[in-house]
């Protein structure tokens, strides 16, 4: 069922329920009030009868079935209803309408028992009460009549008609307003249908209202932006990876081709094999980085942590970096140390954190003209900070939010070997440890990657 239909039906059911309840209450109260005032009339007439007819005991005698009250009796009494008087043996001794259906003995008995009673006799409302004649004999006077049913019936018809009209108006207006309320959703739906994976640059038109639908459009656009970025990164990854795979593979192939063209000396074979080994190492390095990234991405919560001394970790990373890249010099400057050694201990995954530092050191050297990097560390209780600085050409402002995206490589550095994975891996590892990273490229040149550890 469409939302519009469902909303209209719900609205209709609700409104119809409320309307029916209100109209029923109005009908019920009116009916009750009418009955009450009618009974009040009957009671008054019974009083008058008690005071007039019963005073003249001569008028009271068992009545034959064809008995009709003398005209003066009827005309002198201010009522149009049937009024009958019964003696103790339930015998009718007076009536304004002898043709009236006799009151059953059961009802008369109840009146004698309770002193007075209201009851329905056929379709007439009746009131009866006991009275004592001047000679102390007890009688029962019963007055009965139609409780103006036409007024109640008319009111009932008016209320039913109003209910039907009301329900119709609610249905029409509900359908119209549900349609209007859902209009923006429908237009978003049409726009979304037009968006194809081949062109993710399209956006849903946002409406000015900041209501739920306006926010839905904005959220959807943000989602589209992320999807577009992910697609872009994927494209970049494919082209980078194929480029990075292609370079060493082509080099290996051409070196082997050249080697096989004729016999070579042992020295030449050695040089060529070493070069092939270098290319294989770079392939191996790339594969390793991809594996690390996959690990951090897929199982972030199951990565074990242990108490780790931060200064030692930094020295170990620098040693490892020197061993791997002896041609990349690194200097470490410790600006501050805490008084207590244990204040240097953090809870971390040593291997991953070292890997992040190694990547930052490697980048700093790689993108510096002299291939050197300077590390400045300040270890204070709860305020550890490490800066990895280089003297490269810096990172322009507009690139800074992109460098941490997986597979992003600056077009300025395409001639430098790389995969575009390093910094995204660094970011994921630092996120895991809640370590904040910021990038700064001062106008004087170079880049500073600043790591601020949580308190």
Which CB atom, from 42 or from 432, has the smaller least distance to ligand ADP? 432
The distance of closest approach from Cβ of residue 225 to ligand ADP in the complex, given in angstroms and rounded to an integer, is 21
State yes or no: residue 372 binds ligand ADP (CB under 6 A): no
Burial of 180 (0-12, 13-18, 19+ CB in 10 A): exposed
* Residue 115: φ, ψ to 5°: 90, -40
Q: Which of 178, 418, 428, 432 binds ligand ADP (CB under 6 A)?
A: 418
- Contact string 19-58 vs ligand ADP (x = CB under 6 A): ----------------------------------------
Assigned token pair, 235? 């494209």
Q: Please, what sign has the CA dihedral across residues 238, 244, 250, 252? A: negative
Spatial CB neighbours of 274, under 8 Å, sequence gap ≥ 6:
none
- Report which DSSP code applies to 411: G
Q: DSSP 3-state assignment of 175?
A: helix
State yes or no: residue 413 binds ligand ADP (CB under 6 A): yes
State yes or no: residue 408 binds ligand ADP (CB under 6 A): yes
**Alpha carbons 259 and 44: distance in angstroms, whole number:** 132
State yes or no: residue 321 binds ligand ADP (CB under 6 A): no
Q: Which of 87, 143, 447, 451 binds ligand ADP (CB under 6 A)?
A: 447
Q: Which of 12, 346, 348, 364 binds ligand ADP (CB under 6 A)?
A: 364
The distance of closest approach from Cβ of residue 400 to ligand ADP in the complex, given in angstroms and rounded to an integer, is 9
The distance of closest approach from Cβ of residue 226 to ligand ADP in the complex, given in angstroms and rounded to an integer, is 19
State yes or no: residue 184 binds ligand ADP (CB under 6 A): no
Which CB atom, from 117 or from 387, has the smaller least distance to ligand ADP? 387
Start-to-end CA distance of the chain, whole Å, equals: 55
Contact 47, 116 (CB under 8 A): no
State yes or no: residue 419 binds ligand ADP (CB under 6 A): yes
Instruction: Specify the pairing of strand 330-336 against strand 138-145.
Output: unpaired
**Alpha carbons 386 and 63: distance in angstroms, whole number:** 121
- Contact region with ligand ADP (CB under 6 A), list: 32-40, 277-285, 344-352, 402-410: 402-410
Contact 429, 352 (CB under 8 A): yes
**Shortest Cβ contact with ligand ADP: which residue?**
418
- Report which DSSP code applies to 337: -
- Contact string 187-206 vs ligand ADP (x = CB under 6 A): --------------------
User: Applying CB under 6 A, which residues contact ligand ADP?
Assistant: 363-364, 367, 390, 392, 395, 403, 408-410, 413, 418-424, 447
């Amino acid at each position: 069922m469409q939302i519009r239909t469902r909303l209209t039906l719900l609205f209709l059911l609700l409104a119809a329920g409320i309307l029916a309840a209100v109209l029923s209450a109005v009908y019920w109260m009116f009916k009750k009030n009418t009955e009450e005032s009618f009974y009040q009339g009957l009671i008054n007439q019974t009083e008058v009868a008690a005071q007039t007819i019963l005073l003249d005991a001569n008028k009271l005698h068992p009545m034959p079935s064809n008995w009709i009250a003398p005209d003066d009796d009827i005309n002198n009494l201010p009522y149009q209803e049937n009024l009958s008087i019964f003696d103790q043996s339930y015998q009718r001794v007076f009536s304004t309408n002898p043709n009236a259906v006799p009151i059953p003995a059961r009802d008369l008995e109840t009146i004698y028992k309770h002193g007075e009673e209201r009851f329905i006799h056929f379709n007439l409302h009746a009131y009866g009460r006991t009275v004592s004649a001047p000679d102390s004999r007890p009688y029962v006077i019963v007055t009965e009549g139609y409780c103006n049913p036409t007024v109640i019936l008319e009111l009932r018809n008016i209320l039913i008609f109003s209910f039907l009209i009301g329900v119709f108006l609610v249905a029409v207006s509900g359908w119209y307003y549900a349609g209007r309320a859902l209009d923006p959703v429908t237009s978003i739906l049409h726009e979304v249908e037009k968006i194809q994976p081949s062109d993710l640059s399209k956006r849903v038109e946002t409406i000015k209202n900041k209501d739920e639908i306006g926010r839905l459009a904005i959220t959807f656009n943000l989602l589209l932006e992320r999807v577009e970025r992910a697609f872009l990164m994927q494209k970049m990854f494919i082209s980078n990876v194929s480029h990075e795979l292609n370079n060493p593979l082509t080099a290996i192939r051409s070196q082997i081709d050249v080697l096989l063209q004729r016999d070579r000396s042992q020295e030449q074979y050695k040089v060529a094999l070493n070069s092939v080994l270098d290319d294989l190492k770079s392939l191996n390095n790339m594969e390793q980085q991809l594996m690390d990234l996959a690990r951090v991405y897929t199982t972030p919560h199951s990565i074990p942590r242990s108490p780790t001394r931060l200064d030692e970790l930094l020295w170990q990373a620098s040693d490892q970096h020197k061993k791997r890249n002896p041609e990349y010099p690194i200097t470490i400057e410790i600006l501050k140390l805490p008084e207590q050694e244990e204040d240097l201990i953090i809870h971390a995954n040593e291997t991953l954190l070292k890997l992040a530092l190694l990547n930052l050191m490697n980048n700093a050297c790689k993108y510096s003209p002299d291939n050197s990097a300077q590390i400045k560390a300040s270890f204070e209780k709860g305020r550890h900070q490490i800066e990895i600085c280089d003297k490269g050409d810096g990172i322009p402002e507009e690139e800074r939010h992109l460098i941490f995206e997986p597979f992003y490589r600056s077009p300025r550095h395409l001639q430098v070997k790389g995969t575009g994975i390093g910094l995204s891996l660094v970011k994921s590892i630092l996120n895991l440890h809640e370590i904040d990273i910021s990038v700064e490229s001062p106008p004087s040149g170079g880049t500073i990657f600043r790591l601020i550890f949580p308190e």
